[in-house]
Amino acid sequence: MKRFLLICIVSLMSLFGFANDTYFFMAGGNLLPAEEKDTLIEMRHEKICINLQDNYYEVTVDFVFYNPSKSVDILVGFPFFEAGLQGKGKIWDFTCSTNGKETFFHSERIEKRWVKPSDLEYANIRTVHFNENEITTTKVSYKSEYGNSAPSFRTANYLYGTGESWNKSIGSILLRIENNIKYGIIRTVTMAENAYLTNKLVKTSDNTFEISLCDVEPKNYTDVFEIEISDVINDDGPRSFPGYFPYNKKIVDKKEFKWLRKDQLRIVRNAIYALHGYKFKSKELEEYFTKVGKYWNPPYKVNPDFSEDELTEIEKANIKNLLEEEKRR
């Protein structure tokens, strides 16, 4: 058991986020995850909603469990790990409910002797009653800081691997991502073993994406959904602009527009003009490009002699396509 816990915790120390409801038992006064699937209760469905905000992200998860055996009370824990890159990784405003009723919980420190003193591993735990041959629903919600996968990338993570503690595979998972970051776009979405989900996400509204997965069998406790977020006009941030800005280098596939909200389509379209020193009549655009443009190479500077003739054929084509998509939205 000690070796098992050591492997789990050391692996999780690099993650920044939060987990499925997990079946727990108490041993020696310390809260430990169950090593074997010694419960018959199944996690039939899990709906994960991740709302990306400017300075934090909010997670709401709905679980559906089924108990095919006798009624039982089980200690259920929601583990979270405050050991992200650069020491970041706090969560707050945690709430939980069972069958629609708010549930009392308390935090327990997971066994500490195998982790560094600076790493904080806790679980919010509560007792849940599972009726015989019945469905039980639970819900958790919380807010979290972002992690960092690189200086210019932020990450939002959800640790679903802890769902392996229940009987059988996770019947189905609905992952819903809502992007409300003003100047940020979703770059990639991955799950365990770097499974690439990005192109499989379905756009359901101007800022919302979904994917449904069936019979999800976590390989271990470290399996995680990771959302990587980058700057709206440049993957590597404004300081390297226009280094990775594609709209002045090639005609961008219209399929890529799905990651941009309508207001972001406008920003990207006008970034092409900003490259040539266009003086914006919109105060919002003027303030934005003045602010971020001072980091560009070369910096944004108004060109009083700007003319549309300065735009390349590639830039004109991208402006046309972006504007058409704006109008379509």
Q: Which two tokens stand for residue 83?
A: 């050991």
Q: What is the pLDDT of residue 37?
A: 53
Whether the CB-CB separation of 150 and 237 falls below 8 Å is answered with no
CATH tag, 2-231 = 2.60.40.3680
Q: Which two tokens stand for residue 30?
A: 């310390």
pTM listed for this prediction:
0.85
2-231 and 238-328, same CATH topology: no
Return the number of other C-beta atoms located less than 10 Å from residue 21's C-beta. 27
Return the number of other C-beta atoms located less than 10 Å from residue 2's C-beta. 10
Q: What is the pLDDT of residue 220?
A: 77
pLDDT digits (tens, 9 = 90+) for 78-118: 876 554 433 345 788 999 999 999 998 888 776 644 443 33
Whether the CB-CB separation of 132 and 48 falls below 8 Å is answered with no
Q: What is the pLDDT of residue 38?
A: 73
Return the number of other C-beta atoms located less than 10 Å from residue 177's C-beta. 22
Q: What is the pLDDT of residue 190?
A: 94
Which long-range contacts (C-beta less than 8 Å, at least 24 apart) are formed by 246-255? Answer: 247/271, 247/272, 247/314, 247/315, 247/318, 247/322, 248/272, 248/275, 248/312, 248/314, 248/315, 248/318, 249/314, 250/314, 251/314, 251/317, 251/318, 251/321, 252/318, 252/321, 254/321, 254/325
Distance CA 178, CA 156 (A): 12
> What sign does the CA torsion over 39, 68, 72, 110 have?
positive
Q: Which two tokens stand for residue 191?
A: 């799950």
Domain layout of the chain by residue ranges: 2-231, 238-328
Q: What is the pLDDT of residue 239?
A: 60
CATH tag, 238-328 = 1.20.58.1690
Report how far apart, in Å, the C-alpha atoms of 304 and of each of 3, 269, 282, 292 are. Answer: 68, 20, 16, 20
Q: Which two tokens stand for residue 76?
A: 């259920």
Give, for all 329 residues of the chain, the pLDDT tens digit: 322 232 232 223 223 355 676 655 544 444 444 444 578 999 999 999 999 999 999 999 999 999 999 999 988 888 765 544 333 457 889 999 999 999 988 887 766 444 433 344 667 888 899 999 999 999 999 998 888 877 678 999 888 887 888 899 999 999 999 999 999 999 999 998 768 999 999 999 999 999 999 999 988 777 889 999 998 887 665 566 787 789 999 999 999 999 999 999 999 999 999 999 999 999 999 999 999 999 888 899 999 999 999 999 999 999 999 999 999 99
